[in-house]
Amino acid sequence: MKEKFNLERLTRRNIWNLAPYSSARNEYAGREARVFLDANENPYNAPYNRYPDPLQLELKEAIAKVKGVPAQCIFLGNGSDEAIDLPYRCFCEPGVDNVVAIEPTYGMYKVCADINNVEYRTVLLDEHFQVTADALLAATDAHTKIIWLCTPNNPTGNCLKPEEVVKVIENFDGLVIVDEAYSDFSSQTSFRQWAMVNGQWSRPNLIVLNTMSKAWGCAAIRLGMAFASEGIIDIFNKVKYPYNVNLLTQQQALKALQDPFEVDGWVKILKEERGRVMQAFSILPICEKIYPTDANFFLAKMTDATGIYNYLVDQGIIVRNRNRVQLCQNCLRITIGTKTENSELIAALRQY
């Protein structure tokens, strides 16, 4: 890094000095209790009458075993979107600071920047959907607080070169946030694993995002994860809403985590189907190019993306039209579904 990472210097002064809201459930944490008359709850309709654990401790312990990261280095949010928004609120001074991101990439990074009145700078990917660390670092200045990197990237599907990501982490004295929502479908080592050394989080300026929505098949429960140093997690916990992850979500996540091998099976099937569908696309006259992917979707350049998209909608088949996204002109993004769904898509396109 250019200089030693300083979390206090990076954090907004009002946030560093913030006295967080103390919930009823926080105040007796660590002690046994059987009569709860502290939180103005209705005593009837158990268990839904009680506020959930504000820090989701049981769930974090379960995630720690699966992800290989200590529970104290895990933040859980209402989808990954909460974990995307919080860094702006914690570290970026509105109207003063800026962030840098690759382009194209996941749209919520910019939406949250706009909501928080933070300048959003972009660095265009090359024709292979890659970027160099030097280009990203050149876009920063003294007010750049965050560099956003999504790998595998959305909508392009490919992993960024890991050596370039490492170079950014090692040479930027702000935060580097690596969104690994689709990493379960990739053969590359995750940056979550890379950051763990001797059971400790070794990269103080790195935040890695993950989600239960993709490989785990739990998009409906809205559970996002951030992995980072204890210091960063403590700041997130100060700023988040007191009960940001509801009881039903915590219960369903615990149930899903009981059988990670089932998820491995789903991933294997989806990767096999991904190969089959991409092969079928490669011989379609209306498909001009298929881009390499490390995710559960792929990007395909078509002869007329908008026309084909509208045709598929009429057939009751919905894909994602990325025609207006930079570098993705005339491209459709295809999510891999069940074998039946994928076959229906291919059959419809053969009749176009």
DSSP state letter for 89: H
Q: In what order do the strands lie in the sheet with 144-150?
A: 74-78, 223-227, 206-211, 175-179, 144-150, 98-103, 119-124
Spatial CA neighbour of 295 closest among 323, 256, 333, 257: 333
CA atoms within 13 A on the CB side of 168: 31
Which helix (H) or strand (E) segment holds residue 58: the answer is: helix 57-67
Q: Calculate ∠ Cα 224-334-302, nearest 5°.
A: 145
Sole residue written with tokens 């991101």 = 101
Q: Structural domain boundaries of the chain?
A: 7-258, 261-351
> Counting runs of H as helices and runs of E as strands, what totals does the chain give?
14, 13
- 149, exposed or middle or buried, with CB in 10 Å at 0-12, 13-18, 19+? buried
Q: For the chain, what's the residue count?
A: 352
- At 171-192, the pLDDT tens digits run 999 999 999 999 999 999 999 9
Tens of pLDDT, residues 98-137: 999 999 999 999 999 999 999 999 999 999 999 999 999 9
Query: Is the pLDDT assigned to residue 1 strictly greater than 60?
Result: no
Encode pLDDT of 323-336 as tens digits: 999 999 999 999 99
Report pTM.
0.95
For the domain made up of 261-351, the CATH class stated in words is alpha beta
Q: Are 252 and 259 in contact, with CB atoms under 8 Å apart?
A: no
The CATH number of domain 7-258 is 3.40.1410.10? no
